[in-house]
Structure 1
Amino acid sequence: MHRILRENHLNGERRHQRPANTQPIPRLKATAPNQAWVWDMTKLATQRRGEYLSLYVVMDLFSRYIVAWMLSRKENSALSQQLIAQAHERYGIAPGNLTLHQDRGVPMTAHCYLDLLGELGVTASHSRPRVSNDNAMSESQFKTMKYQPDYPRRFDHYDHAMRWCKDYVL
């Protein structure tokens, strides 16, 4: 039966499928510092089971310099707004001169966060939906950090993580 169906081109998918949504791959190019930044956050495990700290890191695409970072007990858009606003002010970025690339996490897609980027004149660039490798620079930096020989698999407390991050990030 399958041979006959195949010969008559009747053996394909019979259900209606949603067509593939082809999103363009984000292409960022920086020829000098402070033209493009990438940022993401990672979880740092603590000794208490199920308790994590959030490490936010903003990195310059051209120089791979960490322009801002923050360690927090929680993850939300207000903290990401604070981090980006402080970094933007610290480096005196003129409106329209910076592209900020991030994935599609909840803090990165919140309306209040995107409104802040608009007010600052920062161009927002996001990863494609359901694609995990569009923010490769940030992910690579986190993997390098977590594979350091002195990286503790679990931090004793917030201050322990803060001391370790200061040594690594700065």
Structure 2
Amino acid sequence: MTIHSDHGSPMAATNVATLPAGLGVIKSHSRPKMSNNNPYSESRCKTLKYRHGFPDRFGCIEDAHAWCESFFDLYNLAHRHFGIALHAPFDVHFGLAEQLREMRADVLADVCRRHPEQFVRKAPAPPKLPDTVRTSNPPAPTGTIKRSRHGNSPNCLPRSRWQVPVRSDQHRS
């Protein structure tokens, strides 16, 4: 069995770092200062931990599996994400987002026609699906060195940035 982690403080703590070795588990680490962990998984795990109804303890492994299966169905099929224009990942992954956005625009236009007094500045519109989804800002332009909060050395640059194109025509697993 292998456990993979970035070089975060919980996995570097002495008591946690020595535990896998005692259990015969091989440790795998990301390269230092490289953001090659999965930001989507990290986001999902934070949502899971703070979800209403997340238990303090599960009675058994089957209870944990059942709760997680229910949660991941909700997260992927129904949970609306701000980073992808209030769509569910399923909608974006299978190319349904633009059609759903048009349907939302029709509903908003109808509401605006029926109640124009509520929209004095401009007609409402659903948010547009972004061209790319990022976990942080894009890297600094070539030729400029952005100093890290860790020091002034050019070797201590900020972590590389994730930039993943959102394409509904491409199957991602």
Q: TM-score, normalization: structure 1?
A: 0.28
More helix by share: 2
Task: With the length of structure 2 as denominator, give the TM-score of the two structures.
Answer: 0.28
Compare the two structures and name the one with the higher strand fraction.
Answer: 1
Please say which structure displays the higher CA radius of gyration.
2
- Between the two structures, name the one with larger relative contact order (CA 8 Å, sep ≥ 6): 1
